[in-house]
Structure 1
Amino acid sequence: MTRVLPRTNFHSSQLIRCLAELDLLEGAEPAGDFADDLGQWLHFTDAITLSTVLDSGMANMPAQSPVLHQATGVRLGAEFERTRTLMVNSITKSCAGGSSAIKLPLPPDLEATYSPYRRFYEAHQRDMALSVEPLRVNLRNALAKASPSLRKLAELDVMMDKFLRERENRLLARVPLLLQKRFDTLTAAHQDQLARSAQPDSQAAWIHPDGWLTRFCQTLQTLLLAEAELRLQPSAGLLEAFNQQKAHE
């Protein structure tokens, strides 16, 4: 049986909560009405196109047989879980300094700078985008073949992705920039502690379980995992819609 994915609230993104808890968000506005917020993201020409899709009739096509629908749901669920597992493993292994295509930067000397970690985060963002895209396309294709109502949902997802992707990319590009505040805070606290203790600095102290660099890498991993969850939400919604139609038949 295909596992039912948990529902997520639009305003309760784990990424937003993590950024807020780390005090990395400045001037964040309280969540408003979803429709009003969405309207601010869409140009009026986008709204016209979206309205056309919503108002168009549903093609006269037979729904899939229950057996085929169930088999497709199992396949899609497995693909979703495989994609999520690959993304999570890539993040956790690289943030722990393990074998990974994206290598965690380790300062060659005692002059730590943030730039390598920003590039590290951005490399994972590109990797996540490449992982999620084929999954979402496959889910749309499956919905388009399942029933008239799911086909319309797939068409709407294409339109929403087209309209919102640029703004989403701009917002997500801010995360590694916001993360620098955490890096600067930890390095400043480390230097202050050294000044008070009159102890020499060392990389061994940085990567100690309580060291500033270890704690920073933990934050890095937390934000990347939260962003992975956020990037998977549209695909999770499509998969849930596919499975719910079968449950409601």
Structure 2
Amino acid sequence: MPRTDFNRSRLIHLLAGLSLVEASGSRQFPAERLGQWLGVADAITLHGAQSAGSAMVPAPPALQPAAGVAAADNYARVRAALVDLITASCSPVGSRGSRIRLPLPKPGVEPEIAAAYGPYRRFHLALQTEMEAGVRALRGSLRRALAPASARLRRLAILDEALDRVLAARERQLLATTLPALLEKRFGQLLAAHRQRLNDDEQADDPGLWMQPGGWLATFRDELQSVLIAELDLRLQPALGLVEAWHDEAGQR
């Protein structure tokens, strides 16, 4: 279940709304872009997965409704837990109880030091690590739960596992480099606009005010949280696809 069409995701629309990417994106077909990600060894792996799935076609057992309900509940539970983690981590108050904390300007720190982006990049990468671990575990549990339901779902589970192995490293690299770089650009835009307003009004800067309502850093925090949740939903697309495949199969019986 690869995420081959990033351009249609809520994440891309959100980034486009911040003028960080083009909304139209590439016109290249998804299959062509996926082909650029795969080497010969990857293609062999996927072909083997397809062959293994096709060879296993016993008489389909009766679908167990409880399995589909449990899969959907598991998906909803994992998503809710990760959204809660993101929200708590991005909250200046809630972050104190979270294992990942939003970087905040320390009292008395010079504005130039307080405006360094490095801590925010590390914050983003830490949350990406949590998302990747949670989504990967969910995806594996869904494959194990749904594969026995039918020959079609078993083939899908085998292919999904192969795609996960083949694309995981490339996806990790893409998300860990592209998104933090785009958000750093946005951080710089908001900071520059803030400094320009101070210069126009001949006011001194005070990092202690950045997180107040309407402050430039508070705005960035809100945008960062929205991007992180949209990134989570992008990562969850294959897991959601597995759940929807079960419901499709149940509807055909």
Q: TM-score, with normalisation over the residues of structure 2?
A: 0.88
Please give the secondary structure, in 2, of the residue aligned with 1:11: helix
Pair 1:135 & 2:138 matched: yes
CA distance in 2, matches of 1:53, 1:132: 21
Distance 1:114 1:86 in 2: 27
CA distance in 2, matches of 1:65, 1:85: 31
CA deviation after TM superposition for structure 1 residue 62, in Å: 4.3
CA contact (8 A) 1:91 1:221 kept: yes
Letter of the 1:20 counterpart: A
* Partner residue, 2:99: 101
Aligned residue in 2 for 1:150: 153
Which of 224, 237, 240 does residue 241 from structure 2 map onto?
237
Q: Match for residue 246 of structure 1?
A: 250
What is the CA–CA distance in structure 1 between the aligned matches of 2:187 and 2:238, rounded to whole Å? 31
Paired residues in the alignment total: 240
* Corresponding residue number in structure 2 for 1:77: 72
Which amino acid is the alignment partner of residue 106 of structure 1? L
Deviations 1:92-117 (A, max 9, x none): 12212213221111111233211111
Work out whether residues 68 and 146 of structure 2, in 8 Å CA contact, stay in contact via their aligned partners in 1. Answer: no
Residue 29 of structure 1: how far off its partner (Å): 4.7
Task: State the partner residue of 1:50.
Answer: 46
1:24-39 aligned within 5 A:
24-25=20-21, 29-39=25-35
Distance 1:224 1:60 in 2: 40
Q: 1:10: how far off? A: 5.3
* 1:1-59 deviation per Cα after TM superposition (whole angstroms, max 9, x unaligned): xxxxxxx9653111222222222238x85232222222121112322332233244342
Residues in 1 aligned to 2:134 and 2:48: alpha-carbon distance in whole angstroms: 31
Partner SS for 2:7? coil
Once the two structures are aligned, what percentage of the paired residues are identical? 44
Give, in angstroms, the shift of residue 200 of structure 1. Answer: 2.4
TM-score, length basis structure 1: 0.89
Q: Does 1:89 align with 2:84?
A: yes
